[in-house]
Amino acid sequence: MTPPSGSTVPAAASRRTVAHPVTTSGLGVITGQQVAVTISPSDQGLRFRHVPSGTLIPAGPSSVATGRSWSIISSGEAAVNLVEHLLAALAAAGITDADVEVDGPELPLLDGSALPWADLIASAGTTDLPGGVPCLTVPEPTILRGDDGSQWLAAYPHSSWKLVYILDWPHPMVGLQCARFDLETGDFRTEIAPARTFALARDAEAARAAGIFQAGDTSSVLLIFDDRLSDAPALPDAFARHKLCDLLGDLYAAGRPWRGLFIGYNSGHALNHRLVKTVLAPVS
């Protein structure tokens, strides 16, 4: 694969926070508990406040962990699950500084998309902060493959932040789908955010039977049956768009905007997190 060309990488991005605190709540699908989330102005970068323990967790590569099929921000015993959709919405809105207060162990899944988070951030408004934040960059082309060879994720140096995602599932209700998004020129709320979390119906039932999901139904997850979907997708190529949303959120869990081109093929959270740590690993 030939890496794309890119011009000089900008050294920094503008800093921005929310103008006013905003709160939402919903059912945590892992625990079955009601969870409230408040996003507040800050000038200290992106931080999660885990209310039950009182722990403040800055976003960053060392804070990121992989759950069963979601992303986690953690510090010691304190952990906040299912952070990827909110992080994607924060990235798309250019929010570099904010405190996210969570009164439980997970963010609510809401309707399974990033749109409720994007709407919540829009309702808060934004405020520019002085100075800039150094962008994370891709110093050289990097390609990682999954253990079974059916997934890969590539990162290339680039002057802006762009993502491409290819989903290739041999399932009659999925098939081959492709999505792309440019953080500088794209409209996240219409192009990416409405695409919902999805799962094979048999996998969702097995997870529920194993006690992994205590709550959640087709209002929060789009189920894929052998011959139908539980609901009509909100967008064309919606499954690829949702996977791109996950990738965007996983990249932003590093705590700063990126400059790079990222191309995923069937990749998931574990590979996304491994790529971030690989790209940002200090050169020995």
Task: Classify strands 46-50 and 98-102 as parallel, antiparallel or unpaired.
Answer: parallel
Give the number of other Cβ atoms within 10 Å of residue 185's Cβ. 8
**Sheet with 34-40, edge to edge strand ranges:** 22-27, 34-40, 98-102, 46-50, 55-58
Is residue 269 annotated as a catalytic residue, yes or no? Answer: yes
Axis crossing angle, helix 115-124 with helix 84-92, rounded to the nearest 10: 50
Helices (H), the chain: 84-92, 115-124, 188-191, 201-209, 238-252, 269-279
Q: How far is CA 9 from CA 27, 151, 280, in A?
A: 41, 28, 16
Spatial separation of the C-alpha atoms in residues 140 and 101, rounded to whole Å = 36
3-class SS at 105?
coil
8 A C-beta contact, residue 16 and residue 126: yes
The catalytic residue among 85, 158, 269, 273 is 269
Q: Cα torsion at 38, 41, 42, 48 (round to 10°)?
A: 10
Positions marked catalytic: 269
